[in-house]
Amino acid sequence: MTSLQVMPRFISALFLTALLSCAAALVPCTADRFAYPLHGWTWWSAREVRAKLGPGDAGTKQNVLLLGSSLMVVAMAESDATWSHQRIDLTTYRDARYFDDRLNTASSKRPSARTINLSAPGQIPSDAYLTMKFALASGLRPNLVVYGIAPRDLLDSTLSSPFDTECYKYLCRLVSADELNKVLPNNCWQRISRQFNSASPLLQRSIDFQLQTDQVANMALKALSERLHLRKISLAERMLLLKNYKPLEMEPEFIHAEIAVRGEVEKLYSDNLSDYVARYRKPRLDFYEGELAALKMLAELCQSEHIEFVLVNMPIRKCNADLIEPGVQAAYLSDLFKLSRSCRVRFYDLCDYKMYQKDDFRDSVHLNGFGGMKFIDKLADVLVHDRLLLSSSR
């Protein structure tokens, strides 16, 4: 086929794309900009932020905000479950009641702590930056932000790209990530893809089209199920049947923080070291530097809003840390210290191997309820000692 024969087809395709883009611009947007095809952890967190800022929570302003990965999620939630002797629904729970109690007990001064926990499984610094930006845009104005970081957050070689996380994909619908994109590692195709997305109304509206299609499909399936008297399958059943379909989907009562019980914690311990062998095997310098830059942006964002920012190195087991090359581990800690000095923020290294035993952990990185309370007691002590909640009050 000659170039003269190809040209009319190319022009036709270009014309069709332009026509569809114009049509897309004329289609009304989804009424709810928070709507999203996947109801994952970040979607539920955004829902809880909106609920806490609604009229029903008047007078209960959250003045402490937590960020971090599942290490922070589990430490806080399992401590609350163990302390209160109640299982906690993690789909909707974004409090940190034991942490609040320790802060308020350790300090008789006001203001009293009321924490919102916006940490999330798999959260990396670029995710945390977008989460903080969304919180501020929503009207959440904490006095203190505590970010719990661990080596995985900068070294995870199994994560294909920071642009592929559930958090990034959803929050980019709600807040701009333009300034963040400049510091994250980009390959050629990712840059081209984002340029196409920003230039084409058709691509910009793809989520709206998917939502409308899903709505029609769900209505049809519901009508068919009622006609055939079929019962609705649960999310857990669907995930067993279709493991790769929306694997990060959540619904109430789907996942819980459990009560830690002495004598049972060792039986429930899970050896996940093989997962971290893969995560630490080939650290990528561009990913490491990009996430470190995102962490600096997060610290600077808080400072620009006159919010005290505290960086905390989370407890993990020594057997996990030993999987990291000694030079990489030393560089990780050194870079966190350098960042804290250059940004003038507090950095607490609370990864004290002597303070925790195996029965304080669920696996090699996640604290159970007992270990979580140890961590929270120590964290509350240093925050109260340094008067950070008081010094940041406005």
Nearest CA-CA partner of 289 in 186, 213, 359, 390: 186
Q: Residue 106 — φ and ψ, nearest 5°?
A: -75, -25
Contacts of residue 141, Cβ cutoff 8 Å, sequence gap at least 6: 61, 305, 307, 394
Could you read off the pLDDT of 253-284 as tens digits, one per residue?
A: 889 999 999 989 989 999 999 999 999 999 99
CB atoms under 10 Å from CB of 1, counted, come to 6
Going by DSSP bridges, is the β-strand pair 144-149/308-313 parallel, antiparallel, or unpaired?
A: parallel
* DSSP state for residue 123 in the 8-state scheme: -
CA–CA–CA angle 205, 34, 287 (5° rounding): 80
Predicted confidence (pLDDT) per residue in 290-337, tens digit: 999 999 999 999 999 999 999 999 999 999 999 999 999 999 999 999
Residues 374-387: tens digit of each pLDDT = 999 999 999 998 88
Give the per-residue pLDDT at 190: 60
At 53 the pLDDT is: 84
Confidence of residue 36 (pLDDT cuts 50, 70, 90): confident
Say how many Å lie between the first and final Cα of the chain, rounded.
71
Is the pLDDT score of 121 beyond 60?
yes
- pLDDT(4) > 50: no
Closest CA to 67 of 104, 29, 121, 5: 121
CATH of 39-185+251-391, one of 1.10.357.10, 3.40.50.300, 2.30.110.10, 3.40.50.1110: 3.40.50.1110
Domain edges within the chain: 39-185+251-391
- From 139, 163, 114, 160, select the one nearest 49 (Cα to Cα): 139
Q: What integer pLDDT is reported at residue 107 of this predicted model?
A: 75
Cα distances (angstroms) measured from residue 50 to each of 65, 66, 137, 171: 15, 16, 11, 14
For residue 150, which of 72, 258, 41 has the smallest C-alpha distance? 72
Q: Whole-angstrom Cα distance, residue 177 to residue 353?
A: 37
Per-residue model confidence (pLDDT) at position 46? 96
- In this structure, what are the phi and psi dihedrals at residue 46, rounded to the nearest 5 degrees? -60, -40
